[in-house]
Amino acid sequence: MITETHGLTDEQLKLAATVRDFADEVVAPAAYQYDTERRLPIEIIRQMGDLGLFGLPFPVEVGGQGKDYVSLCLAVEALARVDQSIAVTLEAGVGLGVMPIYRHGTEAQRERWLPDLVSGRALGAFGLTEAEAGSDAGATRTTARLEDGTWVIDGSKQFITNSGTPITSVITITAVTGDPGTGRKELSSFLVPAGTPGLAVGPDYDKVGWHTSDTHPLTLTGVRVPDENLLGERGRGYANFLHVLDEGRVAFAALASGAAQGCLEEALRYAGTRTVFGSSIGSHQHVAFMLARMEARAHSARLCWFDAAQKLVHGEPFKAEASVAKLVASEAAMANARDAAQIFGGYGFLNENPVARHYRDAKVLEIGEGTTEVQLMILARDLGLTA
């Protein structure tokens, strides 16, 4: 197998090995149980917090670990090998829960929310998606109006990760705050504490996969938050969201890369032990070639997210690279899950098998954090085309 370290530091390699061991020893043995129970294991999330994973890309002054975004991606990738639900809890908890507050919050907002969020004692969520607004955030219908220094928010959100856990502390909500007459709605972001009157968390979705990940619809009816809960400048909610989403796609690509790698490892192990007509199935050229293609996909996915992450941490433009990484890695995960299930045969159709869970989980990787079609649109525009 390819063992290129991609120029990672010794500290980063040690982190990746530590999280990999944690994934194998703590997450993997419990994954099927929690998948069956459809419950986010808070005890495992707390252990991840103790390892410092939620604080990886944040400075020590705000309680973080003082690392970088590459380090976060390494942790997400290592977890996704064995359980995508746990990996996306970290990815969304940091990228969508903490990052908007860290990037755009006031000093008071950061002091209030960051200590618990970066330590893993609490989780944050980002409420953007609606029934008719996701890829097209301009179609947002949730509204917020200012009344005597208080914002009153009305609307609904869908598919909001980490929004209904026992340790969810705050949800960032995007809402229309006006119409500047430019043909585009004025969108702003607000910090809504969990448990705020008028904020209703709907039942968890009956999802095809990611059973352990917490995902709920939200309804906001006359939710009132003070003016100081406005996150960033009024009218900058959309622009701030786009920056957060670009970063999130890099970590999402790392998650998909980990899933592709996990499928490869499971299939490679099985192909070496399963015998047919007196020889291992891995000795048959057809299976060997399937595994070779799986290796190529996983390696390509890793190179793509690593390239995007390096540009991100060095302050270089990375929007197109993030879309390439998200596109390549999600398709690699989907293809590797399909091939791994085929190699396992009937055993690949049993939920107790990690490969079967990857097969169910992988589809959403082509949808979340911007669909495949959105990535193609971004890349076409980057090429100077009008797609």
Catalytically active residues, by annotation: 369
CB 267 within 8 A of CB 294: yes
Pair 219, 200: CB distance under 8 Å: yes
Q: Are strands 230-231 and 275-276 parallel, antiparallel or unpaired?
A: unpaired
Name the residue type at position 230. L
Closest to 236 (Cα-Cα) out of 303, 184, 170:
184
Rg (CA), the chain: 21
Helices (H), 67-218: 69-80, 84-92, 99-104, 107-119
Please name the residues in contact with 178: beta carbons below 8 A apart, sequence gap of 6 or more. 185, 186, 235
Determine the Cα–Cα distance for residues 271 and 287; give it in Å rounded to an integer: 8
Closest CA to 252 of 104, 361, 155, 121: 361
Element (H or E) spanning 189, and its range? strand 186-193
| Cα–Cα distance for residue pair 222/134, rounded to 1 Å | 23
Looking at the chain, list the stretches that DSSP marks H as alpha helix, in order from N- to C-terminal side: 10-22, 28-37, 42-50, 69-80, 84-92, 99-104, 107-119, 237-273, 285-313, 319-344, 354-362, 372-382
Give the number of other CB atoms < 10 A from CB of residue 39: 14
Task: Return the number of other C-beta atoms located less than 10 Å from residue 201's C-beta.
Answer: 19
Q: Which two tokens stand for residue 52?
A: 């410092």
Q: What is the secondary structure of 216-228 as a DSSP string?
A: EEEEEEEEEEEGG
